[in-house]
Chains A and B, each alone.
Chain A
Amino acid sequence: MNVYRPEERRLVLRLLAYWDDLRGDRDYPRADDIDAQTIGDDWAQCFLLRLAGDAVGDSRLLHVGDGFLGDLPDGAPDALLQVPETALLHHAAGFADQTLAKAVPVSLGGEAVLADGRTLFRSILLPLSNDGTTIDHLLGAANGRPVGADTTVDVGERAGA
């Protein structure tokens, strides 16, 4: 598996480690610091939001990983507002307000009813800033598995990531 810090089995901690290494001594890394090659296979479970003003719902989706497309029959939408509630992406980005309020990485998980049924998911949102102080982008990642599944089959991977 070609990922950042392959010894870490949890996606959110791999991405958090990448974000932390990327920022160095800064509070936040820049959006254009992100290198999909370095993130590797996990890039399919990532999405990138460009924040638009005060309304998080108007944020533009600059990247949606292949792992989320299984829940998005019409493909990746342009704005976060257009993401249906039955998509993992909706739940993964659902706490963007909380991330902006705390101004730190936030990782939450839970159970959601997706198009495929009830799913346990885990997600993370990482703040990015081009000027070093104002958060203008969010890098997110999420994966999950159907409730009751014995093995940890990734929803994203199952969707053809």
Chain B
Amino acid sequence: MSTELAYELHSFSGGRWKIQGFFDDRDLAVSEAHRMEEARRFPAVRVVEERFDPETGGYKSRTVYRSSAVDQHNETALKERADTRREVEATRSAPAGCGRQVRQAAELEPGADHDRRQGGAAVRARFRRDLGDQPVWRRLEPWQARAARPPFAFYPVAFYPGVRAPRPSPRTLRPSRIGGQEPERCPVNAA
């Protein structure tokens, strides 16, 4: 039997790695690592391959398997983050006000996330089909958009996309900012 290639199963406990088993077969070592992982007796397990180096007469080590509670937590967190990102992108690809409907459609359509590069067209198509081919939303012509808006006075400038808010003129500045005067402070906070 050859021991030029060996696999050591290690467990992490008390701040150090401790050998738990010695194998000449990688599958056996990794299978046992999986079992120990499921038993949850140790916070981390790993399998280290030991390869005999005839030039130096020693062994070269490399980790071929590792699992820990932290790794599993990170994996779960990454998956949740990817799900959230997909949901946000599906919402962004839809017109304003339709986020909830698009989210629902994206959940219904298994492959819908692949279509987000096309602006969610597949999601919208699916949604239209489900509602009897009635258009749920459409792009408004500029004159239609203007007509649909309430009077200007009710909305701040920032409401209109592409329109910059005017820089404040000295006349619109509050007196406290003119001449470097500090606004009056609350006496409670000043203490």
Taken together as a complex, chains A and B put the C-alpha atoms of A102 and B50 apart, in Å, by 14
CA distance A107 to B25 in the complex (A): 8
Minimum CB–CB distance from A22 to chain B (whole Å) comes to 13
Alpha-carbon gap, A16 to B32, bound state (A):
8
A106 within 8 Å of B (CB atoms): yes
Chain A minimum-CB-distance residue to B22: A106
Q: Is the interface of A mostly helix, strand, loop or mixed?
A: mixed
Query: Could you say which residues of chain A place their CB within 8 Å of the CB of B21?
Result: 16, 104-107
The answer on a CB contact under 8 Å between A13 and B1 is no
In the complex, chain B residues whose CB is within 8 Å of the CB of A104: 19-22
Residues from chain B with a CB closer than 8 A to the CB of A111 are: 1
A10 / chain B contacts, CB cutoff of 8 Å: 28, 31
Interface of chain B, main secondary structure: mixed
How many residues of chain A have a CB within 8 Å of chain B? 17
Please name the residue on chain A nearest to B9 by beta carbon: A104
- Smallest Cβ-Cβ distance to A126: which chain B residue: B21
Contact A107 B35 (CB under 8 A): no
In B1-33, the 8 Å CB interface with A consists of 1-3, 19-25, 28, 31-32
Q: Is the beta-carbon distance between B35 and A12 smaller than 8 angstroms?
A: no
Q: How far is the CB of B5 from chain A (nearest CB, A)?
A: 12
- A110 at interface by CB-CB < 8 Å: yes
Q: A17 within 8 Å of B by Cβ?
A: yes
Are A110 and B36 within 8 A (Cβ)? no
Is A109 engaged at the interface, CB distance under 8 Å to the other chain? yes
- Set of chain B residues within 8 Å of A17, measured between Cβ atoms: 35
Chain A: which residue is nearest B2 at the CB level? A110
Q: Could you tell me the distance in whole angstroms from the C-beta of B25 to the nearest C-beta in chain A? A: 6
- Complex-state Cα separation, A13 to B2, whole angstroms: 20
A110 to B, closest residue via Cβ: B1
B12 to chain A, nearest CB (A): 15
Given contacts A16-B32, A17-B35, A20-B36, contact A108 B19 (CB under 8 A): no
**B24 to A13, Cβ gap below 8 A?**
no
**Residues of chain A with a CB closer than 8 A to B24's CB:** 107-110
Hey, which bits of chain A sit against chain B, CB under 8 A? Answer: 10, 12-13, 16-17, 20, 98, 102, 104-111, 122
19 further interface pairs, Cβ-Cβ under 8 Å (given A102-B22, A111-B1): A12-B28, A13-B32, A16-B32, A17-B35, A20-B35, A102-B19, A104-B19, A104-B20, A105-B21, A105-B22, A106-B22, A106-B23, A107-B21, A107-B23, A107-B24, A107-B28, A109-B1, A110-B2, A122-B25
